[in-house]
Amino acid sequence: MNLEGKVVLITGGTRGIGLETARAFKEQKAEVILFGSKKETVENAIEQLKREGFTVEGYFPNLNDYSEIQKTIEEIEKKYERIDILINNAGISANKKIEDTTVEEFQEVMELNVNAVFHMIKAVVPLMKKQESGVILNTSSMVSIYGQPSGVGYPTSKFAVNGLTKSLARELAPFHIRVNAVAPGITNTDMVKTLPKEMIEPLIQTIPLGRIGEPRDVANAFLFLASSMASYITGVVLSVDGMARS
């Protein structure tokens, strides 16, 4: 997949889809840098991958603090001299009805799911322009296409991620920077594992492929979009949800 030696930065890389994506890129011999929310979770992820034979590096900047992100990106640039692939995977969900959702809760979702994505891209783009190449991948969601019956902040934030992806794909194309997104469906992460069977089983019945997704399904989509096999693809929101569409 021509990813050997590529420098890959993954936010939300310490568990679930992010950790599996880090593992997938290491299998392709890329250099992987994880961003996590806490020192402890970053260290745990690094140790877990180390036990599997993979060496990664990790940081834990506040993604809502642009100056802190900028400082961390400068550290990475000094060490690696480039960032080939940025994967914006950090995010939080929401599930309350609108009348139960506080203004602060809505803002918290928007800050991490939208503002932090903007911060990361803004910090990395100057380096990618200098390189005259780069790939930016954003984690969207199936609810950015369908909406969801409660927790309006989450699909709203992912609609915004789609708009950001499509717009920046146009803006950055002249600089040989591709921008795409992956929209996972129901995926077998820690959060989903805690849900009762009576909630999950009816959802599985609606999926033509007859199962929920695995983190590796999503990681494989990131691998493809990051690779030279997707060199003529930009501005796409790729659904990875087992659904059949007309």
77 domain-assigned: yes
| Digit-coded pLDDT (tens) for 26-76 | 999 999 999 999 999 999 999 999 999 999 999 999 999 999 999 999 999
In whole angstroms, give the CA distance from residue 212 to residue 224.
Answer: 20
Six-digit token string for 217: 């399904």
191 domain-assigned: yes
1 domain-assigned: no
| Digit-coded pLDDT (tens) for 111-153 | 999 999 999 999 999 999 999 999 999 999 999 988 888 899 9
Q: Which domain holds residue 94?
A: 7-240
- The answer to whether 66 is a known catalytic residue is no
2 domain-assigned: no
246 domain-assigned: no
The residue from 66, 80, 154, 232 that is catalytic is 154
- The pLDDT of residue 190 is above 90: no
Query: For position 236, what pLDDT does the model report?
Result: 98
- What band does 245 get if pLDDT is binned at 50, 70 and 90? low
227 domain-assigned: yes
- The pLDDT of residue 192 is above 80: no
Share of the chain above pLDDT 90, in %: 86
Q: In the predicted model, what is the mean pLDDT of the chain?
A: 95
29 domain-assigned: yes
Rounded mean pLDDT, 154-163: 97
* Half-sphere exposure (Cβ direction) of 137: Cα atoms closer than 13 Å: 30
Q: What pTM does this model have?
A: 0.95
Query: For position 200, what pLDDT does the model report?
Result: 79
In this structure, what CATH number is given to the domain that contains residue 39? 3.40.50.720
- What band does 195 get if pLDDT is binned at 50, 70 and 90? low
Q: How many domains does the chain have?
A: 1
33 domain-assigned: yes
In whole angstroms, give the CA distance from residue 63 to residue 179.
Answer: 20
Which backbone phi and psi does 59 adopt, to 5 degrees? -135, 165
